[in-house]
Chains A and B, each alone.
Chain A
Amino acid sequence: MGAILAICGNTIKEGLRNKLFYILLIIGLLFILMGRMCMQGDVSFNNQSLTDTQVIALATTVSFHIIIFWGLTLAGLLSMGAVLGDIETGVITVFISKPVSRFEYLLGKFFGVMGVVLLNVIVLGCGFFLLAFLRTGIWPFKIFLSLAIYILNLMLLVSVVMLVSLISSRIVAMLMGIVGYMFSVGIDIPIYFDALREQMTAKPAALVLFKIIYFAFPQWGSTQFFAASFLSDLFSQKMSFWPTIHTAGYIVLVWLVMVLLFNRKEL
């Protein structure tokens, strides 16, 4: 446990001494500030003024997506070099020549990257939280519930990018993460939303194939929609929580493959 904490702490230190962290944080905060400016004056929709609660719900949903976008970006950028960078430079021999198992090394790196990403998400979340309260006097606690659920997606992305980086290059690992995530969002929209799925007119065989792909592929999109469903009425309140279980299962699966692969890797 001590070794995992030491490697995790070292990775967090590495992330916080990287300018990238602060650049992304500042850009994220600027976006949140822009969101705050949109909350100025009366906000109306379809010629009807929105109540403070409605304004907060709308702003929270927008801010949630801003925060996860920058969280995903940081997670991808940090995780693509977390292990591969150490292998490329040979620094990894310093770690694994000590009484540290390869599994502990991976866990330390993973928690370290997650720590930095979570710090980014928490700072942005708190920034929005305070700005929203200053505007309306309402504390939008729900954003923290949604972000907490969304952590599963970040964990899966970091795991996938770390895994792919073990067998390819940094850029391929990053691209796999981004493309995989976008693909998941694209395929999850028609399947996860009941109303949309019921209107699908595809042939039964195509629908079956579509569902197989949906269940076989990581459900980043559905988990994101489920997390966002707590923020406003834009999403149905009765959305299934199963994508979170699916994502958690995928994290375990990716880790099994990663540990097997890393234990056999010659360094």
Chain B
Amino acid sequence: MSVISAHNLIKDYARVRALAGVTLDVQDGEIFGFLGPNGAGKTTFVKTMLGFIGVTGGSVNVFGQPAGDREVRRRVGYLPENMRLHGFLKGREFLDFAGRLYGMPKDLRRSRTMEYLDALNMLDAAERPLREYSKGMLQRIGIAQALIHDPELLLFDEPTSGLDPIGTKEVRDIILSERDKGKTIFINSHLLSEIERTCDRVAILNKGLIVKKGRLDELSSKVPSVRVEVAKTSKATVKALGKIARDVQVDGNTYVIIPTDDEAKGRIPEILIKSGDTMVSMTESRESLEDIFYRIIKEEG
């Protein structure tokens, strides 16, 4: 079942087209990563989902309801980018306030507040005003307010932004634990390593258009590159490998080969033996998300 469904979504601002026909489906229970360079339209897309801004064309539905529907927002937890909060409130008060806005009863608010303050290692800061919080602490309290009503869908805009490595791991653990509870999680981020570690599927947005989407292995080049270390490289071997490869590079004593297909990949050892090369090692490497991202953005211009 689609939790988020956008069809040909267009959003124009006065001087720029922020979304130029985004079509996207996010399935129930998955962690979906939304990637893109700054200004690609990621935050605009989230804002349309919550009804903060109107759309110029197309449509976006959440839980089958139009964007911004009040009942939809009851089922969504949202962490804004660069979380800013009322500095006069204490951490505990802020979470209680968020719970009140969701219509939660007092006892439940109290127990959930303490639960999330504990889970995010913020019990000590519960009675401190938010103006005294560091950026990382604000981010964590922002995540807690998004989770406090146990939503079915989490919309996280740059969730690990500003966090130290420990904080980043804590947030990652929370995301994975929420996924294990069956929640759908939509993450906007430009931190590729985080997306790679947590997301089931990703979409890459550039200039308001989705240029690629799918599982990470689907986005990678069809055939991984193969690195073969030999005792000594030769031009004859490069020529022989060239017949079964899209590209062959020599890097010291290593051939970096991109075979044309899986069958060609299987013939590499045979070619090396016939050429008289002494093979030391052979490894296969796929593109990382970072490689994919830069390649696609570069291709798209």
Contact = CB atoms under 8 A, between A and B. Distances in A.
14 contacts: A10-B97, A13-B88, A14-B86, A17-B88, A89-B84, A94-B145, A97-B50, A97-B76, A97-B80, A98-B101, A101-B70, A266-B52, A266-B53, A266-B54
B102 A99 contact: yes
Contacts of A186: none
B103 A99 contact: yes
Contacts of A90: 80, 82, 84
A189 interface: no
B71 interface: yes
B179 interface: no
Given A6-B100, A266-B53, A99 B71 contact: yes
Shortest 6 CB-CB contacts between residues of A and residues of B: A6-B100, A98-B101, A97-B78, A99-B74, A266-B53, A17-B88
B85 interface: yes
A14 B88 contact: yes
B88 A95 contact: no
Given A10-B89, A101-B70, A267-B52, A93 B103 contact: no
Interface string B103-125: 10000000000000000000000
Contacts of A93: 50, 52, 78, 80
B73 interface: yes
A3 B103 contact: yes
A14 B80 CA distance: 22
Contacts of A98: 73-74, 98, 101-102
Nearest to A7: B101
A164 to B, nearest CB: 22
A50 interface: no
Contacts of A3: 100-101, 103
Interface of A: 2-3, 6-7, 10, 13-14, 17-18, 89-91, 93-101, 264, 266-267
Interface residues of B, number: 26
Contacts of A2: 100, 103
Contacts of B98: 94, 98
Given A96-B52, A98-B102, A99-B74, A6 B97 contact: yes
Nearest to B155: A97
Contacts of B93: 13
Nearest to A91: B84
A18 B85 CA distance: 16
A165 B157 CA distance: 28
Nearest to B145: A94
Contacts of A89: 84
Contact of B73 (A97, A264, A266, A267): A97
Interface in B28-85: 47, 50, 52-54, 70-71, 73-74, 76, 78, 80, 82, 84-85
Contacts of B102: 98-99
Contact of A99 (B54, B73, B80, B84): B73
A17 B73 CA distance: 30
A95 B98 CA distance: 8
Contacts of B103: 2-3, 99
A91 B70 contact: no
Nearest to B51: A96
Nearest to B77: A97
Nearest to A2: B103
A100 B52 CA distance: 12
B86 A10 contact: yes
Contacts of A94: 80, 85, 98, 145
Contacts of B100: 2-3, 6
A129 B71 CA distance: 49
Contacts of A10: 86, 89, 97
A91 B85 CA distance: 5
Nearest to B88: A17
Contacts of B47: 267
